[in-house]
């Protein structure tokens, strides 16, 4: 295929051959196939509507999550394609079940199946997760509780052993199939076996309801193992706190909670929304939800991003992007094709996807050597897909299919079909002649008639109603058999119509039936190689995401972070990827966190001096490094982590039945419990939700818990206004104190947003409050109260308030007197 082809949607052969036949059938339909043409127009309207909504076709997935003895097993199925996935069993702990949360976010199921007997902490977490995400408009998900019998291990094993997959050896016996499945599934991972077995049972019993296929049985396309072993766990609050995602709910209360009604606010996801395809954009969500500690994957992504940031790869990037635009979500299209209800535009979309996916593989050949990712695409075995594209191109007349609103075959594919079409082409003249002859035979008061074809009724003469209030008797015409009236036309079977029935018969429906048979054969070929196609489409979607990241990295001068297995976070001149977009003079800052440089940083400083932004920027840089992205800094070295926890964002949630303070505590408890030496912990003003002494005590206790771990203490960034914290925690070299610089100008602090060593001495809360618009009288009073607290005395009487109070008392007195 030609790499530089400007028109990637169709090839020249298709355009030349289709034009003549288009004219033929268009002429036919113009006059006589009234019903056919009416239907065609209607079809075209709906086609237009669907074409725009085609991309909204999303996959629906049913997930089984089974957690026992601290291990999570899971399996899910994409209903549209019949792809099965089984999770490699993984340790998951209460109360948060972070692995389940990561899985839930990536799978986005429409239904979760749970063990009806098990109502423990796991089920509560699942319920809460589903409830919370519904509230956040992530989509509706149904919970179904199955009887525990469905999870019986032996029964599950039996169901799995009899699973038939297209990838199994041809004509294999039951024993051979069972042996083949043993190479795919590890039966010692009992929780995953329970999950897959229960899923198969559920699908078997409910397939008609789930797939709308009343008589069908589930057919599975593939079984793939997925793993969360490499995932860097990031909890939901951290995603929100760091603004990786930021869904803004629809302002209308009616629309809240409706799938798709929220939009993305300022977030990393929004920043990276530069994919060429919608599919890529969706894949970006999954990519961001799966930060990985797998160095090989990260380096492969970095390599690709680095390549596309070079000016000499601009041309290739442009070409790839223009092909990526045509890569569509084949899952939705293939469901329609499987059900034989695909519209012409869906066939065209599938062809474009195939054609452009193969083209991308070819384009990657030239650059394969410079990047492993491109090499994988260049070496992708796409010969079958290439053949599929060729078949489609040779068989389907896309232009005519669009006009006709149905699958239409090109001339030259099937001689028998061509003959039928030629008969149809000659029909135009024949029908006009017949109509003229019939006009002569009709009574003179009839001015207009037309011939039309209707399936099952054959050829009919349509006569325009010649008078109002015609009786049944009036409608009887000589030598004509009255058939029916439809709006302004009365339909008759005339002699001429009968002659046409004999002469041409049901040519039109025969053509349709013939073309449908060809379509079914083509569909069977497509479905045989569906697995290869979905794998390539997924790879293209990932390529789209990485190109989008490279565009952002290039535009904002991101650098490639050095990744290692060491415990280190070293960032020079780091910037906040979102604040730097909105702030003209963003001040970059460094951080050095390691066993030698101290891995616990306690930040103090005036209000609004930049503590939160600094901590979030480090969190985001570290997070970006684990997605494989470049980072906004002059240089960065990041040792791979297993967890990123934050205590930044407090969302009071009705569903959680927790106060803001309780949520803070829950986040902190989770961080203490889950964190290891390979974790990053960001804590912003913990303890502010209660009294100052209680807050300080809690903060010191939590910090000490971490510090007692010595070298195993995680990377900690902690901002606090408890300036005396130093006195209450262990004195150890792993703790370093940082503050934010400011200068005093005209008695007011001017913040420089520069971090330096040492502890702060004041919060300048009153100056910040005045700058934020709190009235001068209120600020002045606050100062008096503050001075009194400092000197351990009572504040002076507030004359303003007292006089107001006296006025109120007088008013009430007067009212009482008049009432009496
Ligand atoms: N590095 C920076 N360069 C430029 N402006 C900054 C920088 N960091 C922060 N700012 C500005 O300062 C504002 C306040 O920053 P931030 O919220 O981090 O302060 P803070 O010290 O956490 O305040 P508080 O203690 O009251 O929560 C930000 O909204 C931003 O406009």
State ipTM.
Answer: 0.98
Q: pLDDT tens across 705-754, in order?
A: 999 999 999 999 999 988 888 889 988 999 999 998 888 777 777 888 99
Mean pLDDT in the chain?
Answer: 82
Angle at 167 between CA 75 and CA 285, to 5 degrees: 45
Average pLDDT in the 298-310 region? Answer: 96
Q: Which CATH class is domain 560-774?
A: alpha beta
Q: pLDDT tens across 24-56, in order?
A: 333 333 333 433 222 223 333 333 344 444 444
46-57 burial by CB neighbour count: b if 16+ within 10 A, else e? ebeeebeebbeb
If one compares 297 and 382, the residue with the highest pLDDT of the two is 297
CB 603 within 8 A of CB 740: yes
| Closest ligand 1 atom number to CA of residue 575 | 1
- Tell me the pLDDT band of 315, cut-offs 50, 70 and 90: very high
- Ligand 1 centroid – CA 293 distance (Å): 30
For residue 757, what is the enclosing H or E element?
strand 748-757
The answer to whether residue 14 scores a pLDDT higher than 50 is no
- Ligand 1 centroid – CA 613 distance (Å): 5
The answer to whether residue 295 scores a pLDDT higher than 90 is yes
pLDDT of residue 406: 84
- Tell me the pLDDT band of 590, cut-offs 50, 70 and 90: very high
If one compares 773 and 110, the residue with the highest pLDDT of the two is 110
CB 627 within 8 A of CB 644: no
d(CA 251, CA 587): 35
Q: Report whether residue 607 contacts ligand 1, using a CB cutoff of 6 Å.
A: yes
Q: Report whether residue 611 contacts ligand 1, using a CB cutoff of 6 Å.
A: yes
Average pLDDT in the 781-802 region? Answer: 73
Question: Any idea which architecture 415-507 has in CATH?
Answer: Orthogonal Bundle (1.10)
Give the residue among 758, 782, 761, 787 at the shortest CA–CA distance from 770: 782
Average pLDDT in the 268-276 region? Answer: 95
Give the residue among 84, 93, 60, 88 at the shortest CA–CA distance from 74: 88
The protein residue whose alpha carbon is closest to atom 30 in ligand 1 is 610
Average pLDDT in the 372-392 region? Answer: 90
pLDDT of residue 52: 42
pLDDT of residue 79: 85
The answer to whether residue 216 scores a pLDDT higher than 80 is no
The protein residue whose alpha carbon is closest to atom 25 in ligand 1 is 607
pLDDT of residue 599: 95
d(CA 626, CA 290): 9
The answer to whether residue 244 scores a pLDDT higher than 90 is yes
The protein residue whose alpha carbon is closest to atom 13 in ligand 1 is 608
CATH superfamily label, 58-228 = MutS, connector domain (3.30.420.110)
pLDDT of residue 397: 93
Q: Order across the sheet with 458-464: list the strands.
A: 449-454, 458-464, 489-493, 481-486
φ/ψ region of 768 (left if φ > 0, alpha if ψ in -120 to 50, else beta) reads alpha
- At 275, phi and psi to the nearest 5? -70, 150
pLDDT of residue 770: 74
Strand partners, 347: none
- Ligand 1 centroid – CA 753 distance (Å): 7
Share of the chain above pLDDT 70, in %: 86
Lowest mean pLDDT of 60-74, 518-532, 611-625, name the range.
518-532
The protein residue whose alpha carbon is closest to atom 18 in ligand 1 is 610
Structure-block tokens of residue 658? 């927790």
Q: Report whether residue 603 contacts ligand 1, using a CB cutoff of 6 Å.
A: no
d(CA 512, CA 581): 57
The answer to whether residue 479 scores a pLDDT higher than 60 is yes
The protein residue whose alpha carbon is closest to atom 26 in ligand 1 is 607
pLDDT of residue 820: 60
pLDDT of residue 17: 27
| Closest ligand 1 atom number to CA of residue 721 | 25
CA dihedral 702, 708, 712, 716 (to 10 degrees): 30
CA dihedral 490, 495, 496, 497 (to 10 degrees): 60
- Tell me the pLDDT band of 220, cut-offs 50, 70 and 90: confident
Give the pairing of strands 735-745 and 600-604: parallel
Q: Report whether residue 583 contacts ligand 1, using a CB cutoff of 6 Å.
A: yes
Residues 6+ apart with CB under 8 A from 203: 62, 77, 210, 218
pLDDT of residue 499: 84
- Tell me the pLDDT band of 214, cut-offs 50, 70 and 90: low
Lowest mean pLDDT of 283-297, 384-398, 421-435, name the range.
421-435
pLDDT of residue 510: 84
pLDDT of residue 786: 75
DSSP 667-731: HHHHHHHH--TTEEEEEESTTTTS-HHHHHHHHHHHHHHHHTTGGGPPEEEEE-S-GGGGGGS--
CB 651 within 8 A of CB 664: no
Q: pLDDT tens across 84-110, in order?
A: 999 988 888 887 888 898 899 888 898
Give the pairing of strands 635-639 and 568-574: antiparallel
d(CA 130, CA 125): 9
The answer to whether residue 23 scores a pLDDT higher than 70 is no
pLDDT of residue 201: 92
Share of the chain above pLDDT 90, in %: 36
d(CA 546, CA 321): 11
d(CA 146, CA 64): 10
Lowest mean pLDDT of 14-23, 328-337, 401-410, 596-605, name the range.
14-23
Provide the terminal-to-terminal Cα distance of the chain, rounded to the nearest Å: 100
Q: pLDDT tens across 339-380, in order?
A: 778 888 999 999 999 999 999 999 998 886 889 999 999 998
| Closest ligand 1 atom number to CA of residue 616 | 18
Q: Report whether residue 605 contacts ligand 1, using a CB cutoff of 6 Å.
A: yes
The answer to whether residue 420 scores a pLDDT higher than 80 is yes
Choice from 612, 719, 762 to test ligand 1 binding pocket (greatest atom count within 8 A of CB): 612
Please report, for the chain, the start and end positions of each structural domain, with discontinuous segments joined by +: 58-228, 415-507, 560-774, 779-816
Q: Report whether residue 753 contacts ligand 1, using a CB cutoff of 6 Å.
A: yes
d(CA 112, CA 125): 13
Q: Report whether residue 609 contacts ligand 1, using a CB cutoff of 6 Å.
A: yes
Give the pairing of strands 83-87 and 71-78: antiparallel
The protein residue whose alpha carbon is closest to atom 24 in ligand 1 is 607
Strand partners, 570: 592, 637
Structure-block tokens of residue 490? 């009365």
| Closest ligand 1 atom number to CA of residue 740 | 21
Average pLDDT in the 181-205 region? Answer: 89
Asked whether the CA dihedral 529, 535, 539, 541 is positive or negative, the reply is: positive
- How many residues are there in the chain? 820
DSSP 8-state secondary structure symbol assigned to residue 311: G
Average pLDDT in the 57-65 region? Answer: 82
- Ligand 1 centroid – CA 556 distance (Å): 21
> What is residue 476's three-state secondary structure?
coil
pLDDT of residue 466: 85
Q: Report whether residue 749 contacts ligand 1, using a CB cutoff of 6 Å.
A: no
| Closest ligand 1 atom number to CA of residue 582 | 31
- Tell me the pLDDT band of 176, cut-offs 50, 70 and 90: confident
Lowest mean pLDDT of 6-10, 708-712, 757-761, name the range.
6-10
Give the residue among 735, 737, 715 at the shortest CA–CA distance from 625: 715
Average pLDDT in the 48-67 region? Answer: 65
Give the distance, in angstroms, between the CA of residue 333 and the centroid of all CA atoms in the same chain. Answer: 17
The answer to whether residue 202 scores a pLDDT higher than 90 is yes
CB 465 within 8 A of CB 492: no
Give the residue among 270, 263, 303 at the shortest CA–CA distance from 288: 270
The answer to whether residue 2 scores a pLDDT higher than 70 is no
């Amino acid at each position: 295929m030609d790499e530089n082809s400007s028109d990637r949607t169709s090839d020249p052969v298709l355009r030349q051959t289709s034009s003549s036949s288009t004219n033929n059938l268009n002429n036919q339909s113009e006059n006589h196939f009234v019903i056919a043409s009416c239907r065609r127009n209607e079809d075209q309207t709906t086609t237009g509507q669907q074409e725009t909504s085609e991309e909204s076709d999303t996959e629906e997935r049913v997930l089984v999550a089974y957690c026992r003895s601290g291990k999570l097993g899971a399996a899910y199925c994409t209903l549209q394609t019949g792809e099965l996935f089984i999770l490699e069993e993984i340790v998951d702990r209460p109360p948060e079940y972070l692995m389940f949360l990561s899985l839930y976010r990536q799978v986005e199921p429409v239904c979760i199946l749970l063990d009806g007997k098990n109502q423990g902490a796991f089920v509560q977490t699942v319920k809460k997760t589903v409830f919370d995400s519904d509230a956040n408009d992530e989509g509706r998900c149904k919970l179904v509780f199955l009887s525990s019998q469905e999870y019986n291990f032996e029964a599950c094993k039996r169901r799995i052993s009899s699973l038939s997959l297209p990838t199994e050896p041809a004509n294999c016996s039951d024993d051979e199939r069972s042996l083949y499945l043993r190479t795919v599934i590890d039966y010692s991972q009992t929780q995953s076996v329970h999950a897959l077995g229960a899923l198969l049972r559920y699908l078997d019993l409910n397939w008609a309801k789930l797939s709308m296929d009343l008589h069908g049985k589930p057919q599975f396309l593939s079984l793939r193992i997925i793993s969360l072993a490499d995932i860097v766990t990031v909890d939901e609050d951290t995603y929100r706190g760091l603004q990786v995602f930021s869904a803004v709910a629809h302002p209308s209360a009616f629309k809240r909670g409706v799938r798709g009604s929220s939009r993305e606010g300022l977030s990393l996801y929004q920043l990276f929304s530069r994919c060429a395809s919608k599919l890529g954009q969706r894949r970006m969500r999954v990519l961001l939800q799966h930060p990985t500690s797998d160095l090989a994957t990260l380096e492969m992504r970095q390599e690709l991003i680095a390549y596309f940031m070079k000016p000499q790869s601009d041309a290739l990037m442009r070409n790839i992007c223009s092909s990526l635009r045509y890569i569509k979500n084949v899952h939705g299209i293939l469901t329609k094709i499987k059900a034989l209800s695909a519209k012409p535009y869906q066939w065209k979309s599938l062809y474009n996807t195939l054609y452009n996916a193969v083209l991308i593989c070819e384009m990657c050949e030239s650059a394969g050597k410079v990047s492993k990712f491109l090499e994988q695409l260049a070496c992708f075995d796409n010969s079958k897909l290439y053949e599929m594209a060729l078949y489609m191109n040779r068989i389907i007349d896309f232009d005519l299919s669009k006009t006709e609103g149905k699958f239409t075959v090109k001339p030259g594919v099937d001689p028998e079909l061509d003959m039928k079409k030629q008969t149809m082409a000659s029909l135009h003249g024949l029908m006009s002649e017949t109509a003229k002859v019939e006009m002569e035979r009709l009574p003179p008061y009839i001015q207009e008639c037309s011939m039309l074809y209707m399936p099952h009724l054959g050829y009919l003469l349509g006569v325009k109603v010649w008078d109002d209030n015609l009786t049944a008797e009036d409608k009887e015409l000589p030598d004509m058999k009255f058939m029916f009236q439809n709006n302004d036309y009365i339909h008759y079977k005339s002699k001429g119509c009968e002659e046409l029935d004999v002469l041409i018969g049901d040519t039109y429906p025969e053509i349709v039936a013939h073309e449908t048979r060809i379509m079914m054969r083509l569909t069977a070929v497509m479905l045989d190689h569906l697995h290869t196609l979905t794998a390539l489409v997924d790879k293209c979607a990932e390529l789209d995401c990485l190109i989008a990241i490279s565009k952002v990295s290039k535009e904002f001068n991101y650098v490639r972070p050095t990744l290692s297995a060491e415990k280190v976070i070293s960032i020079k001149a780091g910037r906040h990827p979102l604040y730097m977009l909105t702030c003209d003079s963003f001040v970059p800052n460094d951080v050095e966190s390691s066993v030698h440089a101290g891995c616990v940083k306690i930040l103090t400083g005036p209000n609004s001096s930049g503590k939160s932004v600094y901590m979030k920027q480090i969190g985001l840089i570290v997070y970006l490094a684990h997605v494989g992205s470049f980072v906004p800094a002059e240089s960065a070295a990041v040792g791979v982590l297993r967890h990123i926890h934050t205590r930044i964002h407090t969302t009071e949630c009705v569903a959680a039945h927790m106060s803001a303070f309780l949520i803070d505590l829950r986040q902190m408890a989770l961080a203490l419990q889950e964190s290891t030496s390979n974790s990053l912990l960001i804590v912003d003003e913990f303890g502010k939700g209660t009294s100052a002494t209680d807050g300080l005590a809690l903060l010191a206790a939590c910090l000490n818990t971490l510090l007692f771990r010595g070298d195993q203490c995680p990377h900690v960034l902690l901002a606090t206004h408890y300036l005396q914290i130093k006195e209450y925690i262990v004195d150890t070299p792993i703790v370093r104190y940082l503050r934010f610089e400011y200068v005093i100008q005209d008695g007011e602090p001017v913040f420089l947003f520069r971090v330096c060593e040492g502890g702060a001495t004041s919060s300048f809360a009153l100056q910040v409050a005045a700058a934020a618009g709190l009235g001068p009288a209120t600020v002045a009073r606050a100062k008096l109260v503050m001075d009194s607290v400092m000197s351990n005395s009572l504040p002076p009487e507030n004359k303003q308030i007292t006089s107001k109070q006296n006025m109120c008392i007088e008013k009430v007195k007067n009212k009482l007197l008049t009432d009496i």
